[in-house]
Amino acid sequence: MASALWHTRQAARKLLDAEQGTIYRDAPHRVALLYPSPYRAAMSSLGYQTIYRQLNGEPGVAADRATLPDDVAGYRARGIPLFTLERAIPVGNYPILAFSVAYELEIAGLIDCLDLAGVPALAAQRTWDHPLVIAGGPLTFSNPSPLAPFCDLLLLGEAEQTLLDLIREAVALGFERRALRALIDRFAGRSGFYVPEHDRGQVPPIAAADDSLLPARSQIITPNTELRSMYLTEAARGCSRGCTYCVMRRSTNGGMRVIEPDRIVELIPAEARRVGLVGAAVTDHPRINEIVRRVLERGCEVGISSLRADKLTDELVGLLSAGGYRTLTVAADGASQRMRRLIERRTDESHLVRSAELAKKHGMHTLKLYLMVGVPGETDRDIDELILFARELVRIHPRIAIGVAPFVAKRNTPLDGSEFAGIRVVDSRLDRLRRGLRGKVTVRPTSARWAWVEYMLAQSGPEAGLAVLDAHRKGGRFGDYKRAFAARGVEPTGPVARVPSTSELIALRRARRQAEPVKRARA
Ligand code: SF4
């Protein structure tokens, strides 16, 4: 065990040595900031990085990171506890554990982190001398309910302000464990805070951070991440469009907020060599070309997280090519023109053809399209149309790749409550697509089975979280999940209204209008 621990600490040391921007802070109170996926994913998460910087800027508080180990089984077998990167303190010794959870399948990672920290996974089994377990992150925009059995408190929606509100009160109480337990009761029922023990299934509305707290951006730059050595910054938050399957649509997020180019550029650290512009719909930013040009003028490579095919121009693709882009990635989302219309996706075939032409003209190695199969109303004929269309595209650009994800209905969207198409149906459509494009176009699908698990979690309540725990204890295979959902009687419950009310949205917009220097785009 001692030598295993030594090797684990050495590996952590190596990660830290490769980082720029790590914060080592002395403070009377410490929070462990946990990510329930491995380090590579954690350091690509803008929300996680932003909260790390924010907490470390708070008087009296320091935040240390811990991520899900790559080798959870090895940790378990050798009895190695999960410890924080900056301080090498066992996570179980911290008074507050704060998780950032991106999506449903990370709930298993959250359970692993608690196990390795020696903290009972179920909130009901913890006592006042255990750490307080809180969670936030993208999953809370849609359905936080399956997280409820594991958390003392959930921060719903944008957590920049709500987390600080909580932490400031915790500091005032000296981070005393018994007092912290009493403190969370005071937040029950407040917008943006969900205390499962008190709110009993009544999930409050999500919170929106004040514009003055934007943009979210990297604190740490590291080569050991999915987006190697890239500084990430929001260029816009939310989206002004209304695609019916999307949690980021205008009616859930109150429209799109754009960040002024000056603000984006002035915040880029001098040492950054690669800059990623992040947001739900960055190419909808009215001054996107100017931002890309100014980043290039600083001598940086540039990347964009979300290219909308209908917004690509010769100038923008030319700038991206000059900025090191080699794969042009756009979302098509529906398999056919009919499906794209049904889900209110503004992209049409002419935009995708244009994307292929621009990718070719500007020397991009690959054009990658993202889309969903199994959307309600889809038939095999839509897949056949996709096959014909992809064959046309490949005549324009020789390297086309298609990433396919099975459709999963999310809460707070118009398609909430739609059934999963079925594992067999999804697999047969993926198979049809692969056969139709064999040797011509690369097709990269994600698993239909795990999409079904995601669907069960996206559409169910706390009992689905308990089923994850059961399945995980049995080994975490697909069959374990299937049996656990059946044994717990997990049934997708259909639409649950938790979209902010009109008056909440108006108040939200009014608050945003007052904030400078961030400006708001019209929804
Ligand atoms: S454009 Fe993208 S982010 Fe905006 S609503 Fe549609 S899918 Fe969501």
Kindly report, residue by residue over 411-428, the tens digit of the pLDDT. Answer: 989 999 999 999 999 999
**CA 281–ligand 1 middle distance (angstroms):** 6
**CA 24–ligand 1 middle distance (angstroms):** 38
153 with 81, same domain: the answer is yes
Please give the pLDDT value at position 201.
75
15 with 153, same domain: the answer is yes
Please give the pLDDT value at position 1.
64
Please give the pLDDT value at position 497.
44
243 C-beta closer than 6 A to ligand 1: yes
Rounded Cα distance between 253 and 61, Å, is: 30
Per DSSP bridges, beta strands 519-520 and 257-258 are: antiparallel
479 with 421, same domain: the answer is no
372 C-beta closer than 6 A to ligand 1: no
**CA 249–ligand 1 middle distance (angstroms):** 6
Which of 182, 199, 216 represents a domain boundary (last residue)?
199
- For residue 428, being part of any structural domain is answered with yes
174 with 30, same domain: the answer is yes
Please give the pLDDT value at position 71.
94
22 with 96, same domain: the answer is yes
**CA 245–ligand 1 middle distance (angstroms):** 8
**CA 377–ligand 1 middle distance (angstroms):** 20
Domain range for 87: 2-199
42 with 189, same domain: the answer is yes
Closest residue CA from atom 6 of ligand 1: 243
Please give the pLDDT value at position 476.
96
- For residue 296, being part of any structural domain is answered with no
249 C-beta closer than 6 A to ligand 1: yes
Rounded Cα distance between 193 and 167, Å, is: 13
Rounded Cα distance between 485 and 317, Å, is: 46
The overall longest dimension of the chain from CA atoms, in Å, is: 67
Instruction: Please indicate, yes or no, whether the overall pTM of this predicted structure exceeds 0.85.
Output: yes
184 with 333, same domain: the answer is no
CATH of the domain at 141: 3.40.50.2300
239 C-beta closer than 6 A to ligand 1: yes
Rounded Cα distance between 195 and 202, Å, is: 9
Mean pLDDT by 10 residues, the chain (523 residues): 79 96 97 98 96 97 98 93 96 97 98 98 95 96 96 95 96 94 90 89 88 95 93 94 87 84 96 93 93 94 89 94 90 92 88 96 95 95 97 96 96 92 97 96 96 97 97 97 96 58 43 42 34
338 with 436, same domain: the answer is yes
Please tell me whether residue 223 adopts helix, strand or coil conformation: coil
- For residue 336, being part of any structural domain is answered with yes
- For residue 206, being part of any structural domain is answered with no
256 C-beta closer than 6 A to ligand 1: no
- For residue 291, being part of any structural domain is answered with no
472 C-beta closer than 6 A to ligand 1: no
387 with 481, same domain: the answer is no
Which of 385, 416, 449 represents a domain boundary (last residue)?
449
- For residue 156, being part of any structural domain is answered with yes
Token couple for 16 = 């830290």
Please tell me whether residue 33 adopts helix, strand or coil conformation: strand
Which of 159, 175, 199 represents a domain boundary (last residue)?
199
What HEC string does 243-277 produce?
CCCCCCCHHHHCCCEECCHHHHHHHCCCCCCEEEE
Token couple for 399 = 């390297």
Closest residue CA from atom 5 of ligand 1: 249
Token couple for 174 = 């000296």
277 C-beta closer than 6 A to ligand 1: no
- For residue 390, being part of any structural domain is answered with yes
87 with 153, same domain: the answer is yes
**pLDDT tens per residue, range 66-82:** 999 999 999 999 999 99
- For residue 313, being part of any structural domain is answered with no
Cis, peptide link before residue 215, omega less than 30° from 0 = yes
237 C-beta closer than 6 A to ligand 1: no
Residue among 142, 240, 249 whose CB has most ligand 1 atoms within 8 A, to mutate? 249
Please give the pLDDT value at position 520.
39
246 C-beta closer than 6 A to ligand 1: yes
**CA 406–ligand 1 middle distance (angstroms):** 17
217 C-beta closer than 6 A to ligand 1: no
280 C-beta closer than 6 A to ligand 1: yes
**pLDDT tens per residue, range 451-496:** 999 999 999 999 999 999 999 999 999 999 999 999 999 988 765 5
**CA 417–ligand 1 middle distance (angstroms):** 19
Please give the pLDDT value at position 18.
97
72 with 193, same domain: the answer is yes
Percent of residues in the chain assigned helix, strand, coil, to nearest 5? 45, 15, 40
Place of tokens 């849609």: 142
Amino acid at 474: K
**CA 117–ligand 1 middle distance (angstroms):** 37
71 with 90, same domain: the answer is yes
Total count of domains within the chain: 3
